[in-house]
Structure 1
Amino acid sequence: MIRQLTEKDRDQVLTFAGGRPAENLFILGDIEAFGIEGDAITLWGDFNEQGELLSILLRYLGNFIPYARDPKLLDGRGWAKVIVESSQVKHLSGLQHLVEKVIAHIDLPVLNKQLCHYAKRDPLLSIDKTLIRKDVKMLFPEEAGKIVALRKSIFTNYSDTSSTIQKNMDKGISRTYYIERNNEPVSSVSTVAETAGAAMIVGVCTKKEYEHQGFATSCLSKTIRALSAEHKQPCLFYDNPAAGRIYKKVGFMPIEKWMIVSY
């Protein structure tokens, strides 16, 4: 039986999803930030006859994410019906094997379909301290403009603003470590969407003239060490094989691919 969830269901949902903080980073993060009910967020659950959760579906604005511990128990047809009847879907995303069960039953034009590698790191895994350079710095919120300038010089179509980065840092859901030369950042790593149990690593970059010197690996290792000290599991997306080799070197293991379908 599928029904909309309320705050009374919070503990059951957190128990259901909380055992896999990396896989459910966005679901758990949205619940922490917005609760179970609201204009921006809706959560549904599919229950068996004993009242046990089989799967859940999150809506944040026009973005939907399904999750089930056991993919065999995810009702793709049922969730597709909920999504279509909401008349709000812009994106459907999640672990590939779960999303594919849902999109098979959605008869809407697909604008784009994207797959990324998704990986996580055991927070109890030790970190090689020799990888962390002594000149790695932590960014202060008022310095956000430095990182915006660095990323715009490296990433095409980079759109985040200093204000957005600063607000996220002030909320405690983002942090950045960087290395600078001549008083300007040349390499950095950030987190976003930090929850009580996990954090998404983003913005791993190094200026071309400073590549192959271990700068990004050092910033990444520093970030991992800080997250592990807070018992947060690092996770990340990537589609670049070279980046994948760096992540494997510091202990990231693949979960599976993450699928994003745009309607």
Structure 2
Amino acid sequence: MIRKLNETDRDPLMALLLKEPALNLFMIGDLENFGVEQDFMELWGEMDEPDSRIKAVMMRYYGSYLCYADGSFDVEGFAEVLKKGGKAEMLSGSSEVVNQFCEVLSFRTEKQMYFAELKEMNEQLHKAACAPGEFQRATVLDVEDICTLTDRIDEFSDNSADSRQTLSKTLESKTGRTYFTKKHGRLVVTASTAAENSMSAMVVAVASHPDYRGQGLATRLVARLCTDILEESKSLCLFYNNPQAGLIYKKLGFRDIGNWSMLYI
């Protein structure tokens, strides 16, 4: 049986999500920051009737949907929930779960990415990341300079329209942080986290100005960002689909733990 979840379901829901906290960091972060019941966020769970545990969950966050399951689940039932839930823009989650929706949902395109986790960083890069003065932590006053850099990066062009509002909200709510480096008064490298929660954070929006690539700046900046998160006893996760970027992240200490799929509806 699939039903809408409420605040009384928090404990069994967290019990499900904590089986794979890295894969579920988005849901865990949203639950910690916003609770179960919000206008912009809804959750549905499939109940295992004999013991009332939740065996699968789907979350709507504005127009984006996330799904996670512990074993087999009612794919068609969750697809119907998504179809009835209003204008859905995307469904994402582990490839093992999301790929099961391909037979029951119409979608425009699909994107597959590697999912990696960092629990312990390369010691040499850890020491380099601690060099004083090279990196700064952003405030809302730095949003325009950061977005001026990311606007010129093709990878982030689809999000440029609301990037300033999104980054400002993230910094103000402390659900993420951004670090950057300036050279000759110009911001040239940046990296951020998103979906920060009590256990983990997602590394996002790593960008370098074309004139400053190949100098190791981005690697050292991400190392500094990761160092600060690890010192808070949290792990880090990230997506990547560029094998060259994957080599850089693995040099830092990231290890692949699965694949992530996104269906654009």
Q: Structure 2: which amino acid aligns with 1:131?
A: A
Q: Which amino acid aligns with 1:39?
A: D
8 A contact 1:127–1:225 mirrored in 2: no
Task: Output the amino acid matched with 2:186.
Answer: E
Structure 1 equivalent of residue 80 of structure 2: 81
AA paired with 2:143? Answer: A
RMSD: 2.0
CA drift of 1:126 comes to: 6.1
- Distance in 2 between residues matched to 1:161 and 1:51, nearest whole Å: 41
CA contact (8 A) 2:121 2:252 kept: no
How has the CA–CA distance of structure 1 residues 86 and 154 changed in structure 2, closer, same or farther, with 3 Å as cutoff? closer
Partner of 2:153: 154
**Residues 89, 166 of structure 1: CA spacing in aligned structure 2 closer, same or farther, 3 A cutoff?**
closer
Aligned to 1:117: 114
8 Å Cα contact 2:194-2:204 kept in structure 1: yes
Structure 1 equivalent of residue 95 of structure 2 = 96
Q: Which residue of 2 aligns with 1:248?
A: 250
- Report the counterpart of residue 60 of structure 1 in structure 2: 61
Amino acid at match of 2:33: A
Q: Which whole-Å CA distance do the structure 2 matches of 1:61 and 1:177 have between them?
A: 27
Match of 1:44 in 2: 44
The question of 1:33 aligning with 2:33 is answered yes
Post-superposition offset of 1:127: 4.4
Q: Distance in 2 between matches of 1:57 and 1:117?
A: 21
- SS at the partner of 2:237? strand
CA, structure 1 residues 186+86, in 2 after alignment: closer, same or farther (shift >3 Å)? closer
Instruction: Find the aligned partners of 1:57 and 1:154 in 2 and give their Cα distance.
Output: 32
Count of matched residue pairs:
258
- Give the TM-score taking structure 1 as reference length: 0.89
Of 61-70 and 222-231, the range deviating more from structure 2: 61-70
* CA distance in structure 1 between the partners assigned to 2:163 and 2:76 by the alignment: 40
Instruction: Find out whether 1:130 has 2:131 as its counterpart.
Output: no
- Greater than 6 Å deviation, 4+ residue runs: none
Aligned partner letter, 2:23: E
Q: Post-superposition shift, 1:163?
A: 4.3
**Contact map agreement 1:116 1:257 (CA 8 A) in 2:** yes
Structure 1: give runs of 5+ residues left out of the alignment: none
Structure 2: which amino acid aligns with 1:195?
Answer: N
What are the within-5 Å matches in structure 2 for residues 232-243 of structure 1? 232-243=234-245
The amino acid of 1:207's aligned partner reads H
Q: In structure 1, what is the equivalent of residue 24 of structure 2?
A: 24
Q: Check 1:35–1:208 CA distance in 2 against 1; reply closer, same or farther (3 A cut).
A: same
Q: CA deviation at 1:125?
A: 5.0
Q: Normalization by structure 2: what TM-score?
A: 0.89
The CA deviation at 1:99 is: 0.7
- 1:80–1:103 contact (8 Å) kept in structure 2: no
Residue in 2 that maps onto 1:3: 3
Q: Give the SS at the match of 1:231.
A: coil
Q: Secondary structure of the residue that 2:51 maps to in structure 1?
A: coil
Deviations 1:199-231 (A, max 9, x none): 111121222232222111110110111111222
Aligned equivalents of 2:103, 2:261: Cα separation in 1: 13
Identity of aligned residues (%): 31
